[in-house]
Each structure stands twice: as C-alpha cells, then as structure tokens.
C-alpha cells in the first residue's frame, strides 16, 4: 500500500475501462487505488471517464470523475474543489492530459501551436497553480507532469508538440525549486513510444511502426502500465528526496 491515505487528482484519466486499451491516466488511476489512494479522475471525455470511475468503485476502491478542460481556469478550480470536498485534501496531482500535434514548422498553423501550448503548458501551469495551496494545507504533496521524450529531443515533425512538452519540462523544474520548502515535490515523466488510445492508430501503420521500432533499443513499443509504475513511484514517499527530476521511460530511445 505505497499510497495509503493519499488523495490524487489525475487528468487525462478517462481511458481506464477494463478490457479496453488504457491511457497513462487510466492505468495510473487503477494502480493508485490498488496502492491505497483515493482518486479523482478528470477528463473532457465524460462518458469514458464515468465508466472508468464506476468500474473502480465496483472493485471496492474510492474514485470519482470530474469533467475538466485543462485549459479552463474555472474547470481547474472546480476539480480541485471536488477533490477536497469529496476526500478532504489533495496530496498528488498528475498533470497527464494531452493531445497530438503533428507537423513540421511550415505545416504548423497558429491554431495548432496555440492548441498544443494550451494543453501541455497552460494546462500544467493552471493545475499546479491551484493544487499548491491545498498541498500546502496538507503538509506537502507531489505534482507529476507528463512530458515526453519529445520534450527532450527533436524529431522530423510534431513541432508544436515538442515546444509544448519542452515547456512543461522546464516549468516542472521552476516549480520544483519554488515550492521545495513547502514539501511540495514537482517532477516530470517522459514516456517514449507507448501504445495508447491516442497513438494506436498511427503506431500500427507501416512504415511508421517500423520506423519507431528502429529507434527503440529494446525493440518494442511500450505499455501504459510501464509509465504508470513510474507515476506511482513519484507519488509515493519512496521518492521523498526527488524533485525537479526527469523520469525517462522510453526503452532506451534517448540514450543514443
């Protein structure tokens, strides 16, 4: 029970339905409750999110769903309020909501750019901003920001996505320094190529799949659970001396 007594809010957590392909957030929600946490699942996908929360409760755990557009300040205030009013406090925030953004510099429109920055940079900023006061009241906490290996290295496309994930990476370090004295830890997770509801269509087509496998030293595409295990570690007291760090989970892709 590595998260016993903790309350966690996880964004981008709608895809957590059993026997269906899960996202990072859905997989993390299940792992968190099995480790003793009470969880608020947050997403814009209401139907899937409600189904996931119901299944978690049916298995005997404590979880609720709240609709959250991470680019909307009022939605964030409401989501934090739901967590605290339902479970009494907030210990862990996982800023995991994300969207895809392919395109070279010339192919990227201003709307593409703004959309990626809104979700991956502004969304992380707003979540962190409104979580901090509650974590301070709780005596500390852990904020986990899902960045990407594309927040560390470049690629032939996904210009706006790279920029936005890089922004969340450096925002993480700034927040970590600012709030370390409050016992609030802030770290980023950097998944490599992992099959999720957002990536499955593209990853299963050729020549894309062969190109991906050729970049991964371990020779396979990752599973959402392998990312969620890292989130459990960062949410737990096992990582009590870890802040401002980058946890790269990529099968060795960025080691070369």
**Rounded Cα–Cα distance for residues 143 and 21 (Å):** 25
Known catalytic residue: 241?
no
Which SS3 state, helix, strand or coil, does residue 163 take? helix
Alpha helical stretches, state H, 44-199:
46-58, 73-87, 110-117, 123-138, 159-179
What CA–CA distances, in Å, run from 53 to 10, 17, 43, 47, 118?
12, 8, 11, 10, 26
**Rounded Cα–Cα distance for residues 234 and 238 (Å):** 7
What CA–CA distances, in Å, run from 138 to 63, 90, 92?
19, 7, 10
Are 142 and 183 in contact, with CB atoms under 8 Å apart?
A: no
Q: Burial, 173: exposed, middle or buried (Cβ in 10 Å; 0-12, 13-18, 19+)? A: middle
Are 220 and 163 in contact, with CB atoms under 8 Å apart?
A: no
* Cα Rg of the chain, angstroms: 17
**Rounded Cα–Cα distance for residues 196 and 199 (Å):** 5
Are 121 and 165 in contact, with CB atoms under 8 Å apart?
A: no
The single residue of 161, 179, 233, 241 carrying the catalytic annotation is 161
Q: Give me the active site residues, please.
A: 161
């Amino acid at each position: 029970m590595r998260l016993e007594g903790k309350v966690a809010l996880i964004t981008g957590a709608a895809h957590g339905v059993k026997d269906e392909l899960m996202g990072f957030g859905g997989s993390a929600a299940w792992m968190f409750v099995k480790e003793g946490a009470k969880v608020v699942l947050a997403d814009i996908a209401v139907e899937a999110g409600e189904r996931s929360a119901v299944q978690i409760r049916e298995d005997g755990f404590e979880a609720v769903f709240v609709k959250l557009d991470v680019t909307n300040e009022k939605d964030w205030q409401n989501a934090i309020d739901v967590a605290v009013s339902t479970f009494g406090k907030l210990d862990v925030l996982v800023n995991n909501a994300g969207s895809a953004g392919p395109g070279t510099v010339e192919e990227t429109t201003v709307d593409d750019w703004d959309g990626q920055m809104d979700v991956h940079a502004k969304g992380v900023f707003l979540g962190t901003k409104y979580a901090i006061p509650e974590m301070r009241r709780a005596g500390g906490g852990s904020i986990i920001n899902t960045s990407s290996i594309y927040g560390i290295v470049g690629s032939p496309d996904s210009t706006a996505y790279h920029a936005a994930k890089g922004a969340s990476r450096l925002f993480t370090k700034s927040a970590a320094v600012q709030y370390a004295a409050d016992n609030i830890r802030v770290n980023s997770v950097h998944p490599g190529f992992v099959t999720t509801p957002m990536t499955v269509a593209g990853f299963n087509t050729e020549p894309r799949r062969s190109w991906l496998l050729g970049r991964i030293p371990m020779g396979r595409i990752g599973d959402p659970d392998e990312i969620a295990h890292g989130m459990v570690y960062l949410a737990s007291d096992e990582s009590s001396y870890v802040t401002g760090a980058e946890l790269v989970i990529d099968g060795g892709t960025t080691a070369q």
